Amino acid sequence: MAIVVSALKEADGENRVAMTPDIVSRLVKSNYEVLIEQGAGVNAFYPDDAYTQAGAKVVDRNEAISQASIIAMIDKPSAATIQQLKAGQAIIGLLAPLTDQDTVKALAEKKVSALAFELLPRTVSRAQTMDVLSSQSSVAGYKAALLAADRFSRYFPMMITAAGTAKPAKVLVLGTGVAGLQAIGTAKRLGAVVSGYDVRPASRGEVESLGATFLTTSVSGAGEGGYARQLTPEETQQQQDELAGFIAENNVIITTAQVPGRKPPLLVTQKSVDEAKPGTIFVDLAASELGGNVAGSKPATTVTTDAGAQIIGAGDMASQLPSAASDMFAKNVQAVITYITKDDQLTLDVDDDVIGELLATKDGEIISNRLRGAMKLPERKAAEGTVSASSEAATDGQSTSKNDSKGA
C-alpha cells in the first residue's frame, strides 16, 4: 500500500504551501499517494487544478489529516489539528520545537513522529538537500534587499541625468550567512555600494566574491564547523560599539543574525537607531516575538523614529515571495520523505545522524538531543556503533553553516 503524503492549508498570514505541483508529480511517479487540502496552494499561486493535473487528490482538511501517513506543513500545527492526529503518523515542518515546548509535548502525547526542520544537523552533508532554513533564508535575503530599495527615498544605483548626478545608496548587511549573502548580491545588482559584516573572518572571501566590501570588528566569533560561537557580554558590547561607526555611514542596514530557539543578538543599539539620519532604512530579518537585531524592531511592523528613520520588522519575507519559497520548501520536504521511506514503509531510525536530530518526537518520546537539552532532559544515548550529530544548527550572521554560500 502506497504511503500517503498530505499537505495542509496554512493559517491566515502564511502564503506558502508545503507541497507544490512539481513535487506532487515527482512523488506520484515514485508511487506515493498525495492529498492536498482544498485551497492549500492558492496564496502561492498554485490552484487546486494544478495539483489535480499533477496527480494529487484535492480533499477537505479532515480527509487530508485522517488518511495521511506523512503530513507536510510550513508552520507548527494548531491545537485543533494536533487533536486530529493519530499515533504513527509523521508530521514535517517548521514546528518551533525550541520555543514552543507545549506543542512538542502535545505531539509526543499523540505518539506522532514530529520532524522539525529547526533541528536539522546542517553540517552533515547528507542533510543539505533537506535544509529549509537555508532555502527560506535565501528567499528572505533577496526580498529584504528589494523591500529596502522600495522603501528607500532615493535611488539605489548612481544615476547620471541632465539634472545632475545622484549618488548610489550605501547598504550594510550585518551577518553574511545565506540570507546575508543573498541580500548583498541583490543590493549589488540594484547598483548600491554594499558592505557585509560578520564575526567570522572566514566570510571575507564569500562577501568579496559578490563585489562587496568585507567589514569586521576586533571581535572574532568563529566557532566549530563554520558556525559562529556565542559572544560573551563583553565581546557583545565591544561589537556593538564598533558596529555603530559602520551603521552611521550607511543609508540602508539589513540585519540577518538569527539563532533558532534563542533571542537574536542585538547588533544595532538604541543609540545607533537614535543617531541614524532621516530616511535611513533598517530591515530586520530577525524580528520576532523573541526580539530582533535592531533595537525597537517589531515583527511585521514598520516603526518610524522621531528622526525619520524606518525600522522594518521583516521576519516574514519568505512568505512574501510565496511561489519561489514554496518551490524550495517542497523540495526540502521531498528530500526528507524519500530519506525516511523505503518499500512503502516509514523508516525513522532514531540513531541515524540526521533523522535522530531532525526528530523532535517519536513513539511518545523526545528524540533530538538538542531538543532534550533545551527541555532539560538527559541526553539520549545512540546505539553502539552509530554517530550522533547533535551539533547546533542556526542561521546567519551569528550562526551559519560554512556550506551556506547560497545566500539568514
Residue tagged 517519536 (cell numbers): 362
Whole-number percent of the chain with pLDDT over 70: 91
Read off the pLDDT of residues 77-135 as tens digits, 9 standing for 90 and up.
Answer: 999 999 999 999 999 999 999 999 999 999 999 999 999 999 999 889 999 999 999 99
At residue 382, the pLDDT reads 74
pLDDT tens by residue, 347-388: 999 999 999 999 999 999 999 999 999 999 999 987 665 554
Residue 373: predicted pLDDT: 94
Query: What pTM does this model have?
Result: 0.90
Catalytic residues: 122, 128, 131, 134, 227
| Cell, residue 300 | 511585521
Please, which pLDDT band fits residue 216 given cuts at 50, 70 and 90?
confident
Give the three-state DSSP class for 333: helix
Q: What is the DSSP letter of 38?
A: T
Pair type for strands 281-284 and 252-255: parallel
User: Which residue segments constitute the domains of the chain, with CATH numbers given?
Assistant: 4-131+322-374 (3.40.50.720), 138-320 (3.40.50.720)
Look at 202 and 7; give whichever has higher pLDDT. 7
pLDDT of residue 222: 60
8 A C-beta contact, residue 19 and residue 36: yes
Higher pLDDT, 327 or 401: 327
201 pLDDT tier (thresholds 50, 70, 90): confident
Nearest alpha carbon to residue 311 among 322, 298, 329, 323? 298
Which tops the pLDDT comparison, 387 or 217? 217
Dihedral (C-alpha) 39, 78, 14, 100: value to the nearest 10 degrees? -160
Alpha helices in 251-294 (DSSP H): 270-274
Convert the pLDDT of each residue in 243-259 to its tens digit.
Answer: 898 999 999 999 999 88
Long-range contact pairs involving 232-238 (C-beta distance under 8 Å, separation at least 24) = 236/265, 236/266
Q: What is the rounded average pLDDT for all residues in the chain? A: 91
Can you tell me the mean pLDDT for 27-36? Answer: 97
pLDDT exceeds cutoff 90 at 3: yes
Could you tell me which residues come within 8 angstroms of residue 304 by beta carbon, excluding any fewer than 6 positions away? 310, 311
